[in-house]
Amino acid sequence: MPKPTFLNLPEAKRRRIVDLAVEEFAAHAYREASLTRIVRRAGIAKGSIYQYFADKFDLYMYVLQLAADRKLQYIGEALARLGPDPDFFETLAVSVEASIRLAREEPRLLELSANLLREPEDFRARVMGHFGHVAEATFQQWVSRAFARGQLDPNLPVEAAAYVVWTITTALGQDLASGRVTVDEAPGFYREVLKILEHGLRPRERPAP
Protein backbone atom coordinates (compact mmCIF):
# COMPACT_ATOMS: atom_id res chain seq x y z
CA MET A 1 0.00 0.00 0.00
CA PRO A 2 1.20 3.51 -0.75
CA LYS A 3 3.05 5.54 1.86
CA PRO A 4 1.26 8.58 3.32
CA THR A 5 3.44 10.82 1.18
CA PHE A 6 1.70 9.55 -1.92
CA LEU A 7 -1.76 10.21 -0.58
CA ASN A 8 -0.77 13.79 0.32
CA LEU A 9 0.14 14.47 -3.29
CA PRO A 10 -2.01 16.78 -5.44
CA GLU A 11 -4.54 14.65 -7.25
CA ALA A 12 -3.32 15.49 -10.72
CA LYS A 13 0.17 14.23 -9.96
CA ARG A 14 -1.19 11.16 -8.24
CA ARG A 15 -3.38 10.36 -11.22
CA ARG A 16 -0.53 10.84 -13.66
CA ILE A 17 1.61 8.36 -11.76
CA VAL A 18 -1.17 5.82 -11.38
CA ASP A 19 -2.14 6.05 -15.04
CA LEU A 20 1.41 5.52 -16.22
CA ALA A 21 1.89 2.64 -13.81
CA VAL A 22 -1.28 0.99 -15.07
CA GLU A 23 -0.09 1.47 -18.61
CA GLU A 24 3.30 -0.04 -17.84
CA PHE A 25 1.92 -3.09 -16.06
CA ALA A 26 -0.70 -3.52 -18.76
CA ALA A 27 1.94 -3.52 -21.48
CA HIS A 28 4.51 -5.70 -19.72
CA ALA A 29 4.67 -8.62 -17.34
CA TYR A 30 5.74 -7.76 -13.82
CA ARG A 31 9.40 -8.57 -14.33
CA GLU A 32 9.60 -6.67 -17.61
CA ALA A 33 7.76 -3.63 -16.34
CA SER A 34 10.24 -0.89 -15.58
CA LEU A 35 10.06 1.62 -12.76
CA THR A 36 12.70 3.65 -14.56
CA ARG A 37 10.36 3.96 -17.53
CA ILE A 38 7.44 4.98 -15.34
CA VAL A 39 9.31 7.73 -13.53
CA ARG A 40 10.87 8.99 -16.74
CA ARG A 41 7.47 9.32 -18.43
CA ALA A 42 5.93 10.79 -15.29
CA GLY A 43 8.67 13.39 -15.12
CA ILE A 44 9.64 12.61 -11.55
CA ALA A 45 12.92 11.47 -10.05
CA LYS A 46 13.74 7.84 -9.51
CA GLY A 47 13.97 8.37 -5.78
CA SER A 48 10.53 9.92 -5.60
CA ILE A 49 8.67 6.76 -6.46
CA TYR A 50 10.30 5.21 -3.40
CA GLN A 51 8.87 7.99 -1.29
CA TYR A 52 5.42 6.93 -2.49
CA PHE A 53 5.71 3.16 -2.50
CA ALA A 54 7.86 0.69 -0.60
CA ASP A 55 9.04 -1.04 -3.76
CA LYS A 56 8.00 -2.26 -7.18
CA PHE A 57 5.68 -4.90 -5.78
CA ASP A 58 3.94 -2.36 -3.58
CA LEU A 59 3.18 -0.15 -6.56
CA TYR A 60 2.00 -3.17 -8.54
CA MET A 61 -0.36 -4.32 -5.82
CA TYR A 62 -1.78 -0.83 -5.53
CA VAL A 63 -2.76 -0.50 -9.17
CA LEU A 64 -3.98 -4.08 -9.23
CA GLN A 65 -6.18 -3.31 -6.26
CA LEU A 66 -7.59 -0.30 -8.11
CA ALA A 67 -8.41 -2.49 -11.09
CA ALA A 68 -10.03 -5.14 -8.93
CA ASP A 69 -12.12 -2.58 -7.04
CA ARG A 70 -13.28 -1.08 -10.27
CA LYS A 71 -14.30 -4.41 -11.71
CA LEU A 72 -16.05 -5.57 -8.54
CA GLN A 73 -18.00 -2.35 -8.35
CA TYR A 74 -18.92 -2.57 -12.03
CA ILE A 75 -20.19 -6.12 -11.82
CA GLY A 76 -21.81 -5.49 -8.46
CA GLU A 77 -23.89 -2.66 -9.88
CA ALA A 78 -24.96 -4.75 -12.83
CA LEU A 79 -25.98 -7.64 -10.61
CA ALA A 80 -27.86 -5.33 -8.28
CA ARG A 81 -30.16 -4.40 -11.15
CA LEU A 82 -31.13 -8.06 -11.31
CA GLY A 83 -33.92 -9.18 -9.03
CA PRO A 84 -33.21 -11.08 -5.82
CA ASP A 85 -32.25 -14.73 -6.13
CA PRO A 86 -31.47 -14.49 -9.85
CA ASP A 87 -30.98 -17.40 -12.20
CA PHE A 88 -27.43 -18.78 -12.56
CA PHE A 89 -27.16 -18.30 -16.29
CA GLU A 90 -28.71 -14.88 -16.10
CA THR A 91 -26.17 -13.94 -13.47
CA LEU A 92 -23.41 -15.20 -15.72
CA ALA A 93 -24.69 -13.31 -18.73
CA VAL A 94 -24.96 -10.06 -16.79
CA SER A 95 -21.47 -10.33 -15.30
CA VAL A 96 -19.94 -11.16 -18.63
CA GLU A 97 -21.75 -8.31 -20.29
CA ALA A 98 -20.56 -5.93 -17.56
CA SER A 99 -16.99 -7.17 -17.96
CA ILE A 100 -17.11 -6.50 -21.67
CA ARG A 101 -18.45 -3.00 -21.07
CA LEU A 102 -15.63 -2.36 -18.62
CA ALA A 103 -13.13 -3.70 -21.13
CA ARG A 104 -14.40 -1.19 -23.64
CA GLU A 105 -14.15 1.73 -21.24
CA GLU A 106 -10.90 0.79 -19.55
CA PRO A 107 -8.92 -1.55 -21.74
CA ARG A 108 -5.70 -0.96 -19.75
CA LEU A 109 -7.32 -2.23 -16.58
CA LEU A 110 -8.39 -5.36 -18.38
CA GLU A 111 -4.91 -5.98 -19.77
CA LEU A 112 -3.47 -5.39 -16.34
CA SER A 113 -5.53 -8.09 -14.69
CA ALA A 114 -5.28 -10.41 -17.68
CA ASN A 115 -1.49 -10.20 -17.35
CA LEU A 116 -1.69 -11.49 -13.81
CA LEU A 117 -3.00 -14.80 -15.11
CA ARG A 118 0.08 -15.11 -17.29
CA GLU A 119 2.55 -14.60 -14.47
CA PRO A 120 4.59 -17.49 -13.09
CA GLU A 121 2.75 -19.62 -10.59
CA ASP A 122 4.76 -18.54 -7.55
CA PHE A 123 4.19 -14.89 -8.30
CA ARG A 124 0.46 -15.44 -8.71
CA ALA A 125 0.40 -17.23 -5.40
CA ARG A 126 2.17 -14.30 -3.76
CA VAL A 127 -0.34 -11.85 -5.20
CA MET A 128 -3.33 -14.00 -4.36
CA GLY A 129 -2.03 -14.30 -0.83
CA HIS A 130 -2.41 -10.55 -0.37
CA PHE A 131 -5.81 -10.57 -2.00
CA GLY A 132 -8.33 -13.19 -1.02
CA HIS A 133 -9.64 -15.46 -3.74
CA VAL A 134 -12.73 -13.33 -3.99
CA ALA A 135 -13.72 -14.19 -7.53
CA GLU A 136 -13.20 -17.91 -7.08
CA ALA A 137 -15.15 -18.01 -3.84
CA THR A 138 -18.06 -16.01 -5.24
CA PHE A 139 -18.22 -18.23 -8.27
CA GLN A 140 -18.28 -21.37 -6.16
CA GLN A 141 -21.16 -19.90 -4.23
CA TRP A 142 -23.06 -19.24 -7.42
CA VAL A 143 -22.53 -22.81 -8.53
CA SER A 144 -23.71 -24.25 -5.23
CA ARG A 145 -26.83 -22.14 -5.29
CA ALA A 146 -27.54 -23.02 -8.89
CA PHE A 147 -27.15 -26.69 -8.15
CA ALA A 148 -29.39 -26.49 -5.09
CA ARG A 149 -32.09 -24.69 -7.06
CA GLY A 150 -32.06 -27.13 -9.92
CA GLN A 151 -30.58 -24.73 -12.45
CA LEU A 152 -27.75 -27.16 -13.16
CA ASP A 153 -28.45 -30.66 -14.46
CA PRO A 154 -28.16 -32.93 -11.38
CA ASN A 155 -27.08 -35.80 -13.64
CA LEU A 156 -23.84 -34.01 -14.46
CA PRO A 157 -20.81 -33.96 -12.15
CA VAL A 158 -20.97 -30.51 -10.66
CA GLU A 159 -17.22 -29.95 -10.31
CA ALA A 160 -16.64 -30.67 -13.96
CA ALA A 161 -19.53 -28.41 -14.93
CA ALA A 162 -18.14 -25.64 -12.76
CA TYR A 163 -14.74 -26.12 -14.35
CA VAL A 164 -16.18 -25.67 -17.82
CA VAL A 165 -18.02 -22.49 -16.94
CA TRP A 166 -15.10 -21.02 -15.00
CA THR A 167 -12.62 -21.80 -17.75
CA ILE A 168 -14.78 -20.26 -20.44
CA THR A 169 -15.51 -17.07 -18.53
CA THR A 170 -11.86 -16.73 -17.61
CA ALA A 171 -10.86 -17.15 -21.24
CA LEU A 172 -13.05 -14.17 -22.04
CA GLY A 173 -10.72 -11.82 -20.20
CA GLN A 174 -7.64 -13.28 -21.84
CA ASP A 175 -9.06 -13.19 -25.33
CA LEU A 176 -10.42 -9.69 -24.96
CA ALA A 177 -7.13 -8.40 -23.59
CA SER A 178 -5.08 -10.02 -26.30
CA GLY A 179 -7.39 -8.86 -29.04
CA ARG A 180 -8.22 -12.36 -30.23
CA VAL A 181 -11.80 -11.29 -29.61
CA THR A 182 -12.61 -7.64 -30.25
CA VAL A 183 -14.84 -5.62 -27.94
CA ASP A 184 -17.21 -5.14 -30.84
CA GLU A 185 -17.86 -8.77 -31.56
CA ALA A 186 -17.56 -9.85 -27.92
CA PRO A 187 -21.14 -9.21 -26.76
CA GLY A 188 -22.78 -11.18 -29.54
CA PHE A 189 -20.20 -13.91 -29.55
CA TYR A 190 -20.26 -14.41 -25.84
CA ARG A 191 -24.03 -14.45 -25.77
CA GLU A 192 -23.84 -17.40 -28.14
CA VAL A 193 -21.16 -19.09 -26.07
CA LEU A 194 -23.17 -18.71 -22.89
CA LYS A 195 -26.27 -20.00 -24.65
CA ILE A 196 -24.33 -23.12 -25.51
CA LEU A 197 -23.29 -23.58 -21.90
CA GLU A 198 -26.84 -23.10 -20.73
CA HIS A 199 -28.10 -25.48 -23.39
CA GLY A 200 -25.67 -28.12 -22.17
CA LEU A 201 -25.89 -27.63 -18.44
CA ARG A 202 -29.51 -26.85 -17.64
CA PRO A 203 -31.65 -29.81 -16.67
CA ARG A 204 -33.70 -31.30 -19.54
CA GLU A 205 -36.73 -33.57 -19.85
CA ARG A 206 -34.79 -36.65 -20.86
CA PRO A 207 -32.16 -37.14 -18.12
CA ALA A 208 -28.45 -37.30 -18.96
CA PRO A 209 -26.70 -40.71 -18.84
- Considering only 16, 50, 66, 187, the residue that binds DNA (CB under 7 A) is 50
Rule CB under 7 A: choose which of 11, 12, 36, 80 binds DNA.
Answer: 36
**Closest residue by Cα to residue 23 from 31, 12, 11, 34:** 34
How many residues bind DNA (CB under 7 A)? The answer is 21
Q: Is 200 in the site for its own copies (CB under 8 A)?
A: yes
Q: CA 101 → CA 24, 128, 139, 145, 186, distances in Å?
A: 22, 25, 20, 26, 10
Residue 162 and residue 151 in contact, taking contact as beta carbons nearer than 8 Å: no
Asked if 196 is part of the footprint of its own copies (rule: CB under 8 A), the reply reads yes
Nearer Cβ to its own copies (125/134): 125
Residues in the chain: 209
Residue 167 near DNA by CB under 7 A: no
Residue 56 interaction partner, one of its own copies, DNA, none, beta carbon < 5-8 Å per kind: DNA
The site partner of 162 among its own copies, DNA, none (C-beta below 5 to 8 Å per kind) is: none
Q: By CB under 8 A, is residue 178 in contact with its own copies? A: yes
Any idea of the CA torsion for 38, 41, 44, 47, to the nearest 10 degrees? 30
C-alpha distance from residue 170 to each of 19, 117, 124 (Å) = 25, 9, 15
Site for its own copies contains 32 (CB under 8 A): yes
Is residue 46 within 8 A of residue 92, CB to CB? The reply is no
Give 124's contacts (C-beta < 8 A, 6+ positions apart).
116, 117
Binding span for DNA by CB under 7 A among 54-62, 79-87, 125-133, 196-204: 54-62
Go through 103-124 and write b for each residue having 16 or more CB atoms within 10 A of its CB, e for each that does not.
beebebbbbbbbbbeeeeeeee
Judged by beta carbon, residue 50 or residue 166, the one nearer its own copies is 166
Q: Which stretch binds its own copies (CB under 8 A): 1-9, 55-63, 65-73, 171-179?
A: 171-179
Residue 183 in contact with its own copies, rule: CB under 8 A: no
Binding-site ranges for its own copies (CB under 8 A): 28-29, 31-32, 118-121, 156-157, 159-161, 163-164, 167-168, 171, 178-179, 189, 192-193, 195-197, 199-201, 204-206, 208-209
Residues that bind DNA (CB under 7 A): 4-5, 8-9, 13, 33-37, 44-48, 50-52, 55-57
